[in-house]
Structure 1
Amino acid sequence: MSTFEDLAELHIAAEKLLMVPAADEWLLRGSDRRLDEAKFRKVMVDLLSAVNRSVGITGFVELVRQVEATADPVTGKVSPAAGAVVLLALEQRIDDSVLEERISPIMVVLSRAALRSMNAERELIGLEPLAVLQKAVIPNEEILFREMFPELAVSVDGYMVTAVGSHAQAITPVLVNAANPASPMAIGPLQRQLRSQVADLTVKRATMIARTETARVYGETAKETQRTNGITRSRLATAGDPCPICMEEAARGFLSIDELKPIPLHPNCRCDWIPDVENWLPPMPEVVQA
């Protein structure tokens, strides 16, 4: 998976973690969901903008010219080896702080989504919000997110670090072509082409970490919530145009908690386990004897 797919998956993570099973619950939290998505888009744009400012178009062009001689004279493409040289040189020029300072706000956005989703699920089945999740309004959201989703937090860190590499990889062929003496490109058209290239990658792959890593984390959380509250079985609810794998699993109907396969069932999977709450009552609160 390329890093642009990884970054797009972070956007999908916010969507997945804000999803709740009932339509009325979805509508009630619609404005919150849109706000988190807007914040998430902003921190991701800030990240890529910081990378561009750190290196600059001059830095990219300078590096590309070092391997220009290896470009195919017809296609203008760089060999993988030459591209790796550009990539390595570029990464060495970017200060680690450019990436590190942007990890925290991304964590905050994802943690808000995760905390809201988990409490919404509890509310839907008649349970009070967990006390630890109510701390979402205080400044240590990133710490809470890392504690609750340690594997996902590590993945987020990794995605931010590798973002520089894929960003450079995506636009290097454009710069090689622009620097071709036979048909040089002016700075204006070059900038427009770079912007369209990045935008195209983001949009095309923004439909691919919730369908993979985040979906798995969310699924495990939901499964343990059901088990803790005495819900004994669930069925697979398919999303969109289901594949044969998901259709076969959904056809099995309700299964015991221990029989549930981890989601996602495959890359890009958006299906989810829906609990059987018919005739189910939430656990009674403990009575403290005087």
Structure 2
Amino acid sequence: MMLSVIQAVRRLFGGFMVLLAVSILLFVVSKLMGDPSYSILSIDATQSQRAAFRAEIGWNQSFWAQLLQYIGRTVTGHFGNSYEMQQPVSQILVPYVWGTVKLVGLSLPLGMFGGIVFAFLSLWASDRTERMFQRFLLLLYSLPGFVPVILAIEIFGVKLKWFPPSGSQGIQSLVMPVVLLAGSEAIKSGLLLRTKLREVMEEKFVVTARAKGLAPRRLYIQYLLRPALILVFSYLSIQVGQLLGSTIIVENIFAYEGVGSLAIHALSTRDLPLLQGCIFVPAIIFLVLRFVTDLVQPWLDPRLQQAGRRVSI
């Protein structure tokens, strides 16, 4: 168990180092994009106004001085004030982070549950039905992400008017984004879990349990689901990062107030502190979740603990 903790800490530290490197790359790219005064100030602003703005945000300092200040803000998590809004980035991020957390927090468990249902339905179905079902899931999986989003807006938002087609107007505005994200996760996790369940079905302990006439409910839950969920749990920690990336598209199409839509706005205005916060905060959430997953996984799969003891010996 101690070896698993050490490995989890190493991965967490490595993730922070990667995040720091990405942050520095973001700083360099932002410098290459040019003077932010031209994207934030009005087009008729005078040169003296632009010079005052550059002095206010520290743009007139040397490259290395700005880089050191930037690294210090990254390490401490104090991103300063937004260039455009002139407010602390941490204060601006709170409602947008909460909006994205609601999307991911609802989509991920619903998607995992849907994937489990899909996988077990494929086990109970006949071979012909199972093949047709798998082809249908693969067809849905191959569709570009924006296609079902646009169709959902057109059908349920514009024609039927069941849900708001855009904006953040309470629970109703969450329905279509959550269903679309959860459906995508259900397809991917269902295909993965189906393959894993087929492999577990061939294991000796499952074959022996079936030969002994074990009750189907106990067989599926204890002998099939738990070993398969180990793979899903590992997949889940990676999928959180991909789901955060998918929310960028969904938030912008639905005009939903989340970190993704805020990051696109910060990028268009060259608002470096705000863009830094939009990237850094979700990445920290992902790293922490991955760290928790690394700690919990040996408890779910005792074979990892045994492997760790063998390696430590």
Shorter-chain TM range is 0.3 to 0.5
- Pick the structure with more helix per residue: 2
Answer 1 or 2: higher relative contact order, Cα 8 Å, separation at least 6.
2
Task: Give the TM-score normalised by the residue count of structure 2.
Answer: 0.32
Larger-gyration structure (1/2): 2
Task: Give the TM-score normalised by the residue count of structure 1.
Answer: 0.34
